[in-house]
């Protein structure tokens, strides 16, 4: 018998220790059931002490193999455009695996477009929001793909239902990493025989395969952008989806997009083209999208995303102090400079990222900060819109102070 949570139940969630021995305990009260399916349950829960809201994904282990249910809980990605996953707990007594995640109150892209729609009182204003969502979505993909030069992380199930979005495009979060391929993971070749991905969005070449590739995420992302700009699925109805899964030219040919600029159509067509003609790197997609927006003077509508320096050799000299130790990284054309609290400090995009407490990233000539750990908090901040010299944070009794930006 599956032991479902009920609203009002309390539960002590204890993170299963990983190889680094990290531990986390949260006392939770179930405040709202989001869904209940055979073998699965999703709930909003509140920390009894801090009042912070979380999302709990519950999978009952008597119906799932352990490799599958543990996989998403191991996703440790720190990006403003990707859901934050805190870890998993195996509740052996009740035969269920519980993953603790960031709670996102927004709708998924599919629900948003079919219900309230994109915010704006004109086509031009709504299109501006579409551009904002598209860029943030692509930046999120770039973040997880660029963590490792070889054997990159692959989501494998990008679709509108797995993108949480606010009507104004302020919040954009990639979610649901059930089918993710993790770097150096031996668990991508799983015992379960179901195909990976969603019909109508998965690249047919990978529908029945186990070998992941960035190309499959680029293909699916192109179809998500088609849905974003048109409000309709590229392939819809059983007949079209079955034809798409055959993998012939029909699966890789872009349909008409009335009212959408030809350059946007060209970019999306290049994302869903046959693999030999497809974009080989998500950063090429981002560059083309940014070039289009800037060449059409649309970048002024998206200053928070496109206000970046053009010079290839541009760097920001940036130093910060953790306790008694000062670090001086040079920030060049990258959005995140992670800090790992402990024996080893990682400042590379390709470094290990577990254990972060705070991340700094650049927007043009400015630095910004994202607090990643609930026990890390700002003490003294001069300007909420950017990082300033003298800004101070506290974590576990240790002060983190910004020393210099130039």
How confident is the model over 14-24, as pLDDT tens digits? 988 664 445 67
pLDDT at 360: 75
- Bigger pLDDT: 296 or 333? 296
Alpha-carbon span 270 to 264, nearest angstrom? 10
Task: Please report which confidence band the pLDDT of residue 191 belongs to, taking 50, 70 and 90 as the band edges.
Answer: very low
DSSP string, 24-70: -EEEEEEEEEEEEETTEEEEEEEETTT--EEEEEEEETTSS-HHHHH
- The answer to whether 89 and 13 have CB atoms below 8 angstroms apart is yes
pLDDT at 18: 60
DSSP state of 252: G
Which CA distances in Å does 168 have to 128, 164, 165, 378, 381? 9, 12, 8, 27, 27
**Residue 363, beta-bridge partner list:** 366
* Whole-number CA gyration radius for the chain: 22
Give the CA diameter of the chain: 65
- The yes-or-no verdict on residue 313 having pLDDT over 60 is no
The side-by-side arrangement of strands in the sheet containing 85-91 is 10-14, 25-37, 40-47, 53-60, 96-102, 85-91
Span 34-92, pLDDT tens digits = 999 888 899 999 999 888 899 999 988 765 454 455 678 888 777 889 998 988 998 88
pLDDT at 308: 47
| Tokens 């009920």 belong to residue | 6
End-to-end CA gap in the chain: 61
- The yes-or-no verdict on residue 328 having pLDDT over 90 is no
- The answer to whether 205 and 191 have CB atoms below 8 angstroms apart is no
- The yes-or-no verdict on residue 380 having pLDDT over 70 is yes
Alpha-carbon span 138 to 45, nearest angstrom? 30
The pTM of this model reads 0.77
- Bigger pLDDT: 331 or 280? 280
- The yes-or-no verdict on residue 305 having pLDDT over 80 is no
Contacts of 253 (CB under 8 A, 6+ apart): none
Q: What is the mean pLDDT of the chain?
A: 81
Tokens encoding 151: 């054997």
Contacts of 124 (CB under 8 A, 6+ apart): none
Q: Which helix (H) or strand (E) holds 237?
A: helix 237-245
Span 85-142, pLDDT tens digits = 988 998 888 889 999 999 999 999 999 999 988 998 888 889 999 999 999 999 999 9
- The yes-or-no verdict on residue 385 having pLDDT over 70 is yes
- The answer to whether 185 and 179 have CB atoms below 8 angstroms apart is no
Number of helices (H) and strands (E) in the chain: give both, helices first.
8, 18
């Amino acid at each position: 018998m599956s032991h479902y949570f009920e609203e009002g139940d309390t539960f002590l969630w204890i993170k299963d220790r990983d190889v680094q021995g990290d531990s986390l305990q949260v006392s939770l009260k179930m405040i709202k059931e989001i869904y209940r399916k055979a073998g699965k349950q999703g709930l909003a829960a509140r920390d009894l002490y801090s009042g912070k809201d979380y999302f709990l994904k519950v999978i009952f282990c008597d119906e799932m193999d352990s490799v599958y249910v543990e996989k998403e809980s191991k996703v440790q990605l720190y990006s403003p455009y990707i859901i934050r996953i805190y870890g998993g707990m195996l509740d052996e007594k009740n035969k269920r695996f519980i993953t603790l995640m960031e709670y996102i109150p927004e709708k998924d892209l599919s629900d948003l477009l079919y219900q309230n729609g994109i915010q704006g009182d004109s086509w031009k204003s709504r299109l501006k929001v579409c551009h904002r969502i598209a860029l943030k979505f692509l930046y999120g993909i770039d973040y997880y793909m660029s963590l490792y030069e070889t054997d990159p992380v692959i989501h494998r199930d990008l679709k509108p239902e797995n993108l949480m979005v606010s009507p104004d495009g302020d919040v954009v979060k990639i979610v649901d990493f059930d089918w993710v391929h993790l770097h150096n993971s031996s668990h991508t070749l799983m015992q379960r025989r179901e195909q990976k991905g969603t019909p109508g969005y998965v690249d047919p070449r990978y529908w029945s395969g186990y070998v992941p590739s960035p190309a499959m995420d680029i293909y699916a992302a192109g179809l998500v952008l088609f849905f974003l700009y048109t409000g309709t699925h590229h392939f819809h109805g059983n007949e079209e989806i079955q034809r798409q899964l055959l993998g012939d030219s029909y699966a890789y040919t872009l349909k008409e997009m009335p009212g959408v600029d030809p350059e946007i159509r060209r970019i999306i067509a290049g994302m869903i083209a046959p693999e030999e003609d497809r974009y080989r790197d998500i950063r090429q997609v981002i560059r083309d999208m940014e070039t289009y927006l800037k060449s059409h003077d649309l970048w002024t509508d998206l200053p928070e995303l496109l206000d970046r320096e053009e010079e290839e050799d541009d760097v920001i000299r940036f130093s910060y102090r953790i306790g008694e130790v000062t670090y001086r990284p040079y920030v060049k054309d990258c959005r995140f400079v992670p800090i790992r609290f402990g024996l080893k400090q990682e400042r590379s995009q390709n470094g290990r990222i577990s254990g972060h407490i705070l991340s700094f990233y650049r927007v043009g000539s400015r630095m910004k900060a994202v607090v990643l750990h609930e026990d890390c908090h700002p003490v003294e901040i001069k300007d909420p819109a950017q990082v300033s010299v003298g800004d101070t944070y506290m974590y576990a009794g240790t002060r983190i102070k910004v020393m210099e930006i130039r």
